[in-house]
A and B are shown apart, each in its own frame.
Chain A
């Protein structure tokens, strides 16, 4: 996949700046959606008694993940370096199959489209999709 152009980074930072106040809401909705639309993802949360979309654990985890995305926006100029420890976490401890990064990315994009229909233009969509793909790549860096 291609790396992020200067324009991509500018678009991502600008869009994030406008929506970051709602970042936690985005995270909560994205994670809740994911366990409903892609039930196979629930296998990673078998240690929670309640893996329903309204479960406080699921919603709280959505916030955790989105905070990671927020952090990545700040490190957009060096995602691999900036996300090194997160990659190690995902590689050695969590061992989430990287296919799921795509799934969650899609859910994040859907939520952004719902919450910010006028701001989430095709131009913003492509930049953010590229950013999430680069993020996923950086997260999978330490896998093998």
Chain B
């Protein structure tokens, strides 16, 4: 069972309350596709991913980044039960999307770095710790139903 302190809950809620999804979503997904190019394997139908510039200006990727980021909303609202909340999503990522769960961590790391850039020095070590803990619980839950 994941135990959250009051401080951790407050940090996660605060980050997502002031999150610019339209900015951060695309940036995080683009960074993942550029820094870990093998993740592009899941985006065969998304048009031109030929180089970093193409990825950064690709509207389908941008839209998808926003979608994925909003996918975290349910985890924020159900922090005490992320595993159950994401059971269906986990099945989908396994059975329908066939995404290697190791990739979830790669996207999580990119999201951390993009949020760090946005928040600057406000992204303290304590906030980073809480945020990464949250993301690792999400990553774990998303990989849970694979078999």
Contacts and interface: CB of A to CB of B under 8 A. Distances in A.
Interface in B79-130: 109, 112-114, 116-121, 123, 125-126, 128-129
A57 B132 CA distance: 25
Contact of B113 (A32, A36, A53, A125): A125
Contact of A32 (B34, B112, B125, B132): B125
* Most-contacted residue by chain A among B34, B56, B116, B132 (CB, 10 A): B116
Contact of A114 (B31, B109, B117): B117
A120 B34 CA distance: 13
Nearest to B132: A37
B123 A114 contact: yes
Nearest to B109: A106
A126 interface: yes
Interface in B127-147: 128-129, 132
A20 interface: no
A33 interface: yes
Give the secondary structure class of A's interface: helix
B34 to A, nearest CB: 4
Interface in B12-47: 30-31, 34-35
Contacts of A36: 125-126, 128-129
Given A106-B109, A110-B113, A123 B34 contact: yes
Contact of A122 (B30, B112, B129): B30
B8 to A, nearest CB: 13
Contact of A110 (B35, B126, B128): B128
Contacts of A126: 34-35
Contact of B117 (A32, A53, A120, A129): A120
B125 A113 contact: no
B54 interface: no
6 residue pairs, one from A and one from B, having the closest CB atoms: A36-B125, A117-B117, A122-B34, A33-B125, A126-B35, A113-B116
24 contacts: A36-B126, A36-B128, A37-B132, A53-B125, A106-B109, A109-B113, A110-B123, A113-B113, A113-B114, A113-B116, A114-B116, A114-B119, A114-B123, A117-B117, A117-B120, A120-B117, A122-B31, A122-B34, A122-B56, A123-B34, A125-B31, A125-B34, A126-B34, A126-B35
Interface of B: 30-31, 34-35, 52, 56, 109, 112-114, 116-121, 123, 125-126, 128-129, 132
Given A114-B116, A122-B34, 20 more contacts: A33-B125, A36-B126, A37-B132, A53-B125, A110-B116, A110-B123, A110-B128, A113-B114, A113-B116, A113-B117, A114-B117, A114-B121, A114-B123, A117-B118, A122-B31, A122-B35, A123-B34, A125-B31, A125-B35, A125-B113
